[in-house]
């Protein structure tokens, strides 16, 4: 799969903002089963090898999992403070848990191995959104650094539309990238901000 044309703009933004740790935090919106929106911050973990899919990680006990199972459409909103630009990436989100799919289990395992001990430990904490557990529930024994805990999920967002707004410039610049599945290519249009 060739690199999508929006990848170079995103790579440039990541480079220009590399000194800001929080420039890798994005807002990920999903749809709740009652049709209401849900939104939260997650950490961008790079791209899945030789694809245009963004990687994130999460706990399969978190609400976003049941949301994306019922409705896989999701959108990331990502603001880069240094270069003053926003990317909105719309696509389907899928979770790679302990049960696969098989070809992605290796990527899930590698992601687990790349985490810090502290990040891995969070997956052994008491279940999210339950009434506050006692302190000992947050001091579990460290999990195996090689084999992921069963609740560890790799999340993959496969964008089909990317809206890139650059505030710098007068007037501002806005480009829309739309994937055409029939032609298997991206169409790019300069649009008004």
Q: How many residues bind ligand FMN (CB under 6 A)?
A: 13
Contacts of 154 (CB under 8 A, 6+ apart): 55, 56, 57, 95, 96, 104, 107, 108, 111
Q: Which of 58, 97, 154, 179 binds ligand FMN (CB under 6 A)?
A: 58
Is 62 among the residues that bind ligand FMN (CB under 6 A)? yes
Q: Which of 42, 48, 90, 162 binds ligand FMN (CB under 6 A)?
A: 42
| Biggest CA-to-CA distance, the chain | 55
Alpha helix segments (H runs only) across the chain: 6-16, 63-70, 105-114, 117-121
Tokens of 125: 């904490």
Is 74 among the residues that bind ligand FMN (CB under 6 A)? no
Q: Which is nearer to ligand FMN, 27 or 51 (CB)?
A: 27
Place of tokens 């279940």: 127
Q: Shortest gap between Cβ of 146 and ligand FMN (angstroms)?
A: 21
Residues that bind ligand FMN (CB under 6 A): 25, 38, 40-43, 56-58, 62-64, 128
């Amino acid at each position: 799969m060739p690199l999508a044309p929006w990848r170079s703009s995103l790579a440039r933004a990541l480079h220009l903002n590399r000194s800001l740790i929080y420039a890798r935090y994005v807002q990920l919106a999903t749809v709740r089963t009652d049709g209401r929106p849900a939104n939260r911050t997650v950490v961008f973990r790079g791209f899945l090898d030789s694809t245009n899919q963004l990687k994130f990680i999460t706990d399969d006990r978190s609400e976003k999992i049941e949301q994306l199972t019922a409705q896989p459409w999701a959108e990331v909103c990502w603001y880069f403070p240094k270069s003053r630009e926003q990317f909105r990436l719309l696509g389907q989100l899928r979770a790679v848990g302990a049960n696969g799919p098989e070809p992605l289990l290796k990527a899930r395992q590698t992601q687990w191995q790349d985490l810090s001990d502290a990040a891995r430990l969070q997956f052994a904490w008491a279940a999210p959104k339950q009434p506050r557990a006692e302190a000992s529930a947050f001091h579990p024994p460290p999990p195996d650094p090689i084999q992921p805990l069963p609740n560890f999920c790799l999340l993959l967002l496969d964008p089909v539309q990317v809206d890139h707004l650059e505030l710098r410039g007068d007037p501002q610049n806005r480009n829309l990238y739309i994937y055409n599945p029939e032609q298997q290519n991206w169409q790019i249009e300069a649009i008004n901000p």
